[in-house]
Amino acid sequence: MKDVIKKAEILIEALPYIQALNGKTVVIKYGGNAMISDELKHSVMEDITLLKYIGVNPVVVHGGGPDITRTLKRLNVETEFVNGLRKTDATTMEVAQMVLVGKTNKEIVSLLNHMGGKAIGICGIDDNLIECEKLTIHSDSGEEIDLGFVGKITKINPHILNVLSQGPYIPVVAPIGVDKNGQSYNINADTVAAELACALKAEKLILLTDVEGIKLSKDDPQIVNALTVDEVKKLIADNVIVDGMIPKVMGCIKALENGVKRTHIIDGRIPHCILLEMFTNQGIGTMIVKEKVRYYDKEKL
């Protein structure tokens, strides 16, 4: 009986969050180890399907780097990365689009449908959802680095996502954009998720990662439950937040500055990580907000 009562207490703890999020849009970036383990795949899909059934409107953005790398290797095409971005020549772009749109996207859609959701897979080319141009980056010496067909987002046209997500569907977005000439570009999935959250005025942006969250120092064993934008900027300046975490937190900051209420960086290696972060008081990752405003009086931030 104690176990049954405990389950009821968990549901009651979730109630204020369910009420606050009812009818709201949540953008979820799905990637990392959560895409590799079958157990974690099913766990994430169950979480996303449950969100839809309780009145939340999830929009999923996925990566797929390992799938692309494996396919390129089978085709004897070398892979090169610069500052964490894949150099994408014409051949690599063709493979990336084929894998992301034709394989990875459809696998996620199939899993969600198997769980009872109504998922529809699209990419940034559909309805000109993601307009972009060629991304230009520079070396430390100021020299321009040619990454090939890697895109910088110039505009989001969210109409198709609004139509799908406000209806019974779960949109699943592959991070491929298109320029004014119809050329496809590969775009970082974290960046796409942040930009879509801005355009949709989402309530939440959730980034699944392969780390526990953000710590106040490199040697700190504890992750921080909640941080403000100012606190995050200080951690960057102090070299606590470094490397691959910087674009993630910068995406969170941009989303917050454009109307998103809460952003979350969570460990996708934990089963049911989305539900644990969204519907429990303690959460499991790090929430980044402009200011710490409670959903309800007793919420601990």
- Sorted by sequence, the CB contacts under 8 Å of residue 21 that are 6+ apart come out as 55, 56, 203, 204, 278
Going by the annotation, the residues of the binding site for substrate are 64-65, 86, 186
Look up the pTM and report it: 0.94
Burial grade of 293 (CB within 10 A; 0-12, 13-18, 19 or more): exposed
| Residue 125 in domain | yes
Dist CA 25 CA 41 (whole Å)? 21
**Other C-beta atoms within 10 Å of 185: how many?**
28
* Least confident piece of the model among 110-119, 185-194, 215-224, 245-254: 215-224
The pLDDT of 213-218, averaged and rounded, is 86
**Bind-site residues:** 64-65, 86, 186
| pLDDT one-digit tens code per residue, 147-202 | 999 999 999 999 999 999 999 999 999 999 999 999 999 999 999 999 999 999 99
CA distance 106 to 77: 24
Q: Looking at residue 153, which CATH number applies to its domain?
A: 3.40.1160.10
For the chain, how many structural domains are there in total?
A: 1
* pLDDT tens digits, 24-70: 999 999 987 778 888 899 999 999 999 999 999 999 999 988 899 99
Q: Using alpha carbons, list the distances in angstroms from residue 132 to 11, 200, 206, 248.
A: 43, 18, 23, 20
Q: What are the two backbone dihedrals, phi and then psi, of residue 11, each rounded to the nearest 5 degrees?
A: -65, -40
Share of the chain above pLDDT 90, in %: 69
Does the structure show a pLDDT above 80 at 301? no
Helix H, strand E, coil C: the string for 212-242 is CCCCCCCCCCCCCCEEEHHHHHHHHHCCCCC
Residue 216: pLDDT band by 50, 70, 90 thresholds? confident
Question: Considering the domain boundaries, does residue 265 fall inside one?
Answer: yes
**Phi, psi for residue 221 in degrees, rounded to 5:** -75, -15
DSSP SS3 for 262:
strand
Contact 189, 143 (CB under 8 A): no
Write out the residue range of the structural domain in which residue 154 sits: 23-289
pLDDT band with cut points at 50, 70 and 90 for residue 133: very high
Contact 287, 264 (CB under 8 A): yes
